[in-house]
């Protein structure tokens, strides 16, 4: 049977073509169909609000796709965990054994033989704060014009992680974004969700809280974890000035800082109009037929540019020393 016209239920001939329409709350494509322009015009005053919402949602879901793929490329590129062995436990979960020794030199990602979701889980495992502390710039850019308010929430997830990291158990709690759209709806943006076996970074906030969260520990304006990182850096600098010593924990923070600094720079390079690139917002608004390929190309460009810049910094000094030099202005 032909699709019925939304207004008169006659056979529909075309759909509302605003940015080829959007997605429903679960992210599935949705369209509004009409028999002709008369019915469409008559319906506009009613459809206007919903039309805006489905298109806002579509942009949010698209931005979530771009950001999650970029996050996984980011953690793969900055990978510095020396894994000794990965084996499967009797419960089917992966057991990961790594060296305890701190390393500020990157190593090749050792999970390439795992399934896509398990690779995602491994790449997300210690990265509960990376989306907000190192990818803040990308998140802001991708959601520009779509989100009217953005917050960071620290949550304790429901259920077990797909993997168990023996020597370095990650903290259970991690940070997700809470985004408010212009239509008032609230959404969760969870880039590290692969750790818990799901590939959907964007979920209606209430669904997210019901299905994936045991408790919400804190909610703060976007940029809070970046400010926390800045505060830790101030402390490290003060200590370093006094004693000249940088301890292991401080090196970890400096490493994170160098990843953040370089990520910001990579974002500016890979989305610059002068070099013929699109911003992440523009990427998220592409027609359906162009979106996937453009997203893939962006992620490859991001990883390649990031890797090239990191290689330079790392070869010279090691990552934390490079960040320290940057900080104390040597
Ligand atoms: Zn009609
Ligand atoms: Zn519409």
Tokens of 44: 């506009």
Banded model confidence at residue 1, pLDDT cuts 50, 70, 90: low
Going from the Cα of 165 to the center of ligand 1, the distance in angstroms, rounded, reads: 59
Q: Could you identify the residue written with the tokens 């974002």?
A: 267
Can you list the alpha helix ranges (DSSP code H) found in 21-135? 37-77, 116-124, 130-133
Whether 85 and 24 map to the same domain: the answer is no
Whether 22 and 107 map to the same domain: the answer is no
Sign of the alpha-carbon dihedral angle for 221, 222, 223, 229: positive
Residue 7 resides in a domain: no
Whether 300 and 271 map to the same domain: the answer is yes
Of 223, 49, 52, 200, the closest CA to residue 135 belongs to 223
60 DSSP β-pair partners? none
Going from the Cα of 14 to the center of ligand 2, the distance in angstroms, rounded, reads: 11
Residue 9 resides in a domain: no
DSSP state of 27: S
Residue 39 resides in a domain: yes
pTM of the complete model = 0.93
pLDDT for 285-313, tens place per residue?
A: 999 899 999 999 999 999 999 999 888 88
Name the least confident of 116-120, 209-213, 224-228, 320-324.
Answer: 320-324
Residue 112 resides in a domain: yes
Of 24, 18, 48, the closest CA to residue 185 belongs to 24
For residue 20, pLDDT beyond 60? yes
Going from the Cα of 295 to the center of ligand 2, the distance in angstroms, rounded, reads: 25
Query: How far is 70 from 50, CA to CA, in rounded Å?
Result: 30
Whether 38 and 146 map to the same domain: the answer is no
Residue 2 resides in a domain: no
Whether 19 and 81 map to the same domain: the answer is no
Whether 19 and 68 map to the same domain: the answer is no
Whether 44 and 112 map to the same domain: the answer is no
Query: Domain boundary residue among 40, 56, 72?
Result: 56
User: DSSP per residue over 148-172, as a string?
Assistant: EEEEEEEEEESS--SEEESSSPPPS
What residues contact 78, with CB distance under 8 A and at least 6 apart?
Answer: 106, 259, 306, 310
Tokens of 104: 């500020």
Query: Domain boundary residue among 22, 56, 90?
Result: 56
Whether 104 and 253 map to the same domain: the answer is yes
Whether 72 and 31 map to the same domain: the answer is no
Query: How far is 165 from 78, CA to CA, in rounded Å?
Result: 18
Query: Domain boundary residue among 56, 90, 107?
Result: 56
Share of the chain above pLDDT 70, in %: 98
Query: How far is 296 from 281, CA to CA, in rounded Å?
Result: 15
Number of domains in the chain: 2
Going from the Cα of 19 to the center of ligand 1, the distance in angstroms, rounded, reads: 21
Query: How far is 235 from 220, CA to CA, in rounded Å?
Result: 22
Whether 45 and 76 map to the same domain: the answer is no
- In terms of DSSP bridges, do strands 163-165 and 14-15 run parallel, antiparallel, or are they unpaired? unpaired
Whether 236 and 311 map to the same domain: the answer is yes
Residue 248 resides in a domain: yes
Residue 26 resides in a domain: yes
Query: How far is 33 from 17, CA to CA, in rounded Å?
Result: 9
Query: How far is 254 from 265, CA to CA, in rounded Å?
Result: 17
For residue 102, pLDDT beyond 70? no
pLDDT for 241-257, tens place per residue?
A: 888 888 878 888 888 88
Ligand nearest to the CA of 41: 1
- In terms of DSSP bridges, do strands 147-157 and 213-221 run parallel, antiparallel, or are they unpaired? antiparallel
Whether 243 and 282 map to the same domain: the answer is yes
Going from the Cα of 53 to the center of ligand 2, the distance in angstroms, rounded, reads: 9
For residue 87, pLDDT beyond 70? yes
3-class secondary structure, 13: coil
Mean pLDDT score across all residues of the chain: 91
Range of the domain at 30: 14-56
Residue 4 resides in a domain: no
pLDDT for 178-190, tens place per residue?
A: 999 999 999 999 9
Going from the Cα of 1 to the center of ligand 1, the distance in angstroms, rounded, reads: 16
């Amino acid at each position: 049977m032909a699709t019925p016209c939304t207004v008169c239920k006659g056979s529909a001939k075309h759909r509302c073509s605003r940015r080829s329409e959007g997605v429903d709350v679960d992210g599935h494509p949705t369209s509004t169909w009409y028999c002709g322009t008369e019915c469409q015009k008559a319906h506009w005053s009613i459809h206007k609000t919903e039309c805006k919402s489905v298109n806002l949602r579509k942009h949010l879901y698209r931005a979530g796709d771009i950001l999650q793929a970029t996050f996984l490329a980011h953690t793969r590129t900055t990978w510095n965990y020396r894994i000794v062995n990965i084996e499967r436990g009797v419960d089917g979960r992966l057991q990961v054994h790594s060296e305890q020794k701190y390393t500020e030199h990157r190593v090749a990602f050792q999970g390439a033989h795992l399934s896509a979701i398990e690779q995602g889980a491994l790449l997300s495992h210690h990265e509960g704060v990376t989306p907000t502390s190192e990818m803040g710039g990308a998140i802001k850019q991708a959601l520009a014009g779509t989100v009217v308010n953005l917050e960071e929430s620290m949550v304790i997830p429901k259920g077990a992680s797909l993997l168990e990291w023996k020597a370095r158990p990650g903290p259970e709690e991690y940070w997700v974004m809470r985004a408010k759209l212009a239509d008032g709806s609230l959404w969760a943006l969870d880039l590290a969700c692969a750790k818990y076996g799901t590939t959907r970074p964007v979920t209606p906030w209430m669904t997210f809280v019901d299905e994936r969260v045991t408790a919400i520990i804190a909610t703060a304006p976007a940029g809070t974890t970046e400010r926390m990182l800045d505060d830790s850096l101030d402390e490290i600098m003060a200590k370093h000035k006094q004693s000249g010593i940088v301890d292991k924990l401080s090196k970890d923070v400096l490493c994170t800082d160098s990843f953040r600094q370089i990520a910001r720079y990579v974002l500016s390079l890979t989305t610059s109009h002068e070099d013929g690139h699109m911003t992440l917002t523009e990427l998220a608004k592409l027609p359906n037929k162009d979106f996937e390929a453009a997203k893939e190309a962006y992620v490859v460009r991001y990883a390649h540019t990031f890797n090239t810049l990191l290689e330079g910094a790392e070869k010279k000094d090691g990552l934390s020393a490079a960040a320290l030099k940057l900080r104390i202005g040597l």
